[in-house]
């Protein structure tokens, strides 16, 4: 008996006509954002607040330096001058380095704190922070030297051979640059890490 052929169903595909709805291509145009401009007038008053607040911080830093800076032991010689004891002259560099490190640490804290003012980020505020840091360093130098001198007053009736204690000194003014340098470095690193044209102040 012959086998009958088996019919296989074939799916019918509707012919594509010109009237069929074909989605049109969508073209999206990307317009570049306008470059943000530097805001000056609106940031002037906050910049004054930043400058004055940072400058006042020189008072506690100066007091801290006066408390940490080592004194120098000296001997009165025949000419009436005080000669430092062997090894005590190194404390001049110690006092300078302590002031420089305190300024750098305060500068980094200042730069990070000013960077946290998100709605005021920009060159106006960072310039105020740097100038305020310079004023704070000068104030810290004056206050620290004054406190150290008042705490270690030289005796008026010193004789030859007497051992006296001299107050710490800062023999160069270059140390005052540590504070503004630390503030500018911390703020600059934060701005470079942010990478936005407006530094994120528009999002704040």
pTM above 0.85, yes or no: no
Min mean pLDDT across 19-28, 44-53, 176-185 is at 19-28
Residue 27 has pLDDT above 50, yes or no: yes
pLDDT for the residue numbered 201 = 74
pLDDT for the residue numbered 83 = 63
Phi, psi of 23 (to 5 degrees): -65, 130
pLDDT digit string (tens) for 84-138? 666 666 778 888 999 999 999 999 999 999 999 888 888 899 999 999 999 999 9
Over range 36-40, report the average pLDDT.
67
pLDDT digit string (tens) for 145-181? 999 888 877 666 666 666 667 778 888 888 899 999 9
Nearest residue to 109 (alpha-carbon basis) of 169, 40, 60: 60
**What distances in angstroms separate CA 155 from CA 36, 79, 125, 148, 152, one per listed residue?**
63, 16, 48, 15, 9
């Amino acid at each position: 008996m012959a086998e009958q052929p088996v019919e296989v169903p074939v799916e019918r595909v509707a012919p594509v006509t010109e009237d069929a709805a074909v989605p049109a291509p969508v073209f999206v145009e990307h317009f570049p954002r306008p470059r943000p401009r530097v805001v000056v007038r609106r940031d002037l008053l906050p910049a004054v607040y930043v400058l004055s607040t940072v400058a006042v911080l020189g008072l506690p830093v100066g007091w801290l330096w006066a408390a940490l800076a080592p004194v120098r032991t000296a001997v009165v010689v025949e000419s009436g001058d005080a000669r430092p004891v062997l090894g005590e002259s190194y404390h001049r560099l110690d006092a300078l380095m302590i002031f420089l490190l305190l300024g750098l640490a305060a500068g980094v804290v200042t730069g990070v704190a000013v960077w946290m003012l998100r709605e005021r980020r920009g060159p106006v505020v960072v310039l105020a922070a740097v100038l305020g840091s310079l004023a704070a360093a000068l104030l810290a130098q004056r206050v620290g030297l004054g406190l150290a001198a008042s705490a270690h007053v030289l005796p008026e009736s010193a004789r030859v051979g007497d051992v006296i204690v001299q107050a710490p000194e800062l023999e160069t003014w270059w140390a005052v640059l540590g504070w503004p340098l630390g503030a500018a470095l911390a703020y600059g690193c934060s701005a470079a890490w942010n990478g936005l044209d407006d530094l994120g102040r528009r999002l704040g």
